[in-house]
Amino acid sequence: MFSNNICIALHFVLDIVCAISELKHNKEVCVSLLRIATRRWAHVLPLALGDIPGAEELIDLELRHSTPSLWSEPNLDGAETSFSSYVRARAEGDTSVTALPFFIMRGFRHRCFIVNKLSHLHSPSELRGATVGLTGWPDSGNTWTRAIVRDHGIELDEVAWRVGRLTGSHPEQDRLGRSPLPPEADVTAREQPLLDGLLDGTLDAVMTPFMPESFLAPDSPFRVLFEDTQATEAAYFSERRYIPGLHLLTVRTSVLAHRPTLADELMGAFTEAQRLSHRDRSKLQDVTPWTNEALRLSVAAVGHEFNPVGLERNRPMIEDFQRELCEQHLMRSPVPLHELFPYSTGSEATL
């Protein structure tokens, strides 16, 4: 009898332990944070610092020095993603990743042409017959930069393109993806970084998303192609009313499918982070001693709302980019916007 009571008691305790364990497991599943990785942009820092109420219960944000990839990193639920990579994946029928209309990275591209300081070139209209290096062929930024060449009346097959690493310190990596190079393009030899080609005359110009450290030196052997890059970019904005989008926020489609409100929640969190960053940007005196003057010039040229959020505000830019991808033979036809951005994201917010 005593033995039976012990057994009953043990079973009762085990039942309680199992119930507690199951409850704990279910709770962990419910509160599991979304693992999202982006580069270290100022406008995502409020999320990383815990400045957005409620976001700490939704997002586990990882800040990186390079762009992550949802296609090759199964441990991530969401990530900053190349605009070009996403659109081309959708064009090929890959719906495993879904974008939200929040562009994490934008940038004018006229500043991305550099030449030898002794070069006679001052405009893309002078690149007919030139040899031009670039750091990747299907990249979003280089697609926009090649579009500027076309805007100046030069067709891409009138230029000899060379794809390679910018400097000798940059790693060797795949710079083509699944995109075949056109006949007028080639991959540079491993021993010939693009900047070396500018110095020895092998290359007439180079396209790069970020300037090398040597570019900032007073005795730098390089300069930008345009004589007044800022005025040229301001005119571009005045005509088009947008700054080209380069990277956007993406989430695994399977994750979005299990939580119908997630798209709105993520858009809200990233938009609020951007708003806080924008509000505080005049205080970033550690960036440059002329922060306020730089901001004054920026606002005068493009206004405060240079990174609009939402599909409608970005529609002209998205359509222009898809048109360029097609014209540059990176995909056959545009993807319908409702297929690129299938999830409702609430109101069309701006900064």
* % of the chain at pLDDT higher than 70: 85
pLDDT for residue 219: 94
The pLDDT of residue 174 is 62
> For the whole model, what pTM was predicted?
0.87
Strands (E), 180-300: 185-187, 205-207, 222-224, 245-252
188 C-beta neighbours (distance < 10 Å), count: 20
CA distances from 182 to 161, 165, 284, 321, 327 (A): 9, 19, 44, 19, 12
Per residue in 79-99, pLDDT tens?
A: 999 999 999 999 999 999 999
Q: Where are the domains of the chain?
A: 1-31, 34-107+243-340, 110-240
Please determine, looking at this structure, whether the domain spanning 110-240 carries the CATH number 1.10.3720.10: no
pLDDT at 110 over 80: yes
Task: Say which residue the tokens 């017959």 belong to.
Answer: 129
Average pLDDT, the chain: 87
Instruction: Decide whether 34-107+243-340 matches 110-240 in CATH topology.
Output: yes
32 — pLDDT class (breaks 50, 70, 90) = confident
The highest-level CATH class for domain 34-107+243-340 is alpha beta
Specify the 3-state DSSP secondary structure of 136: coil
